[in-house]
A = this chain, B = another copy of it.
Amino acid sequence: MKTVVILVNPKYGGNLGAIARNMMNFDVEELRIVGTPEILDDEAYIRAVHAKNILNNAKFYSKLEDAISDIDFTVATTGAVCGDRNVNRVPITPRELAKKHSSISGTLGIVFGREDDGLKNEDVELCDILVSVPTSNKYPILNLSHAVSVILYEIYFESFSEDIPYDLNMKNASVDEKNALLRFFNEFVDRSKDVPDYRKDICKTIFKRIVGRAFISGKEANSLICVFKDKCPK
């Protein structure tokens, strides 16, 4: 599903630059703005850094209705959650949205409101669903660009099926690799003359726990196997 970010009457160019950068960080290309191109000031371009093209290609609209007219599924965002007395304001979490996102096709539009007072009720009513980032009661309102980063991150992250989605030749140790490491370590301990027999089991248990907690990679597991394999401890 393609994602489009829609900003309703943003006030600060700096926020637009930060949002463009976040969009490129999380592979979202299309920015629509309810407002006029004057918002794209120097600060916007400075903060966009390598994402200036997203600003250059932004589309401008005079009304939210027009900006979402061709969007298949429209999400309003809010930091002001008003309880289930107001049915327009019953939100889901960004994680629920991300799960939904992966199961539907077409274009998803995520609508963000003004920096000072967010989306109006009439804006929310134009959308299919409401999303809110869970935050502390002490200070529930996120800065606009940070709300964008959390929501786009959740959607981006959901698109991976692997445990660690970094694009490199790295992968978590498999169960077999971990078990091989533990087996070589245990044999090493059994052969060791420095570890008293009554302490051998606890050493094996501790090592196993450490490996379990450490999220080790296959490369790391194999490197450690070389440490213990067929060594003859004193």
Binding site for B on A (CB under 8 A): 18, 21-22, 24-27, 47, 50-51, 81-85, 87, 90-93, 95-96, 100, 129, 132-143, 145-146, 149-150, 153, 156-157, 160, 163-171, 213-215, 217-220, 223
Contact = CB atoms under 8 A, between A and B. Distances in A.
A167 B91 CA distance: 12
Given A18-B143, A25-B140, A90 B220 contact: yes
Contacts of A84: 168-171, 217-220
A220 to B, nearest CB: 6
B26 A169 contact: no
Contacts of A171: 84
A90 B169 CA distance: 10
Given A132-B166, A137-B167, 6 more contacts: A25-B135, A84-B169, A87-B217, A90-B170, A93-B165, A129-B215
Q: How many copies does the complex hold?
A: 2
Contacts of A83: 168-170
A135 B219 contact: no
CB-CB nearest 3 A-B residue pairs: A84-B170, A84-B219, A24-B139
A93 B164 contact: yes
Contacts of A26: 135-136
A53 to B, nearest CB: 10
Nearest to A139: B24
Contacts of A82: 168
19 contacts: A21-B139, A25-B136, A26-B136, A27-B138, A81-B166, A81-B168, A81-B170, A84-B219, A90-B217, A93-B157, A96-B215, A100-B213, A132-B166, A134-B156, A134-B164, A134-B166, A136-B156, A137-B167, A149-B150
Nearest to A170: B84
A226 B133 CA distance: 31
A85 B215 contact: no
A43 B43 CA distance: 14
B146 A91 contact: no
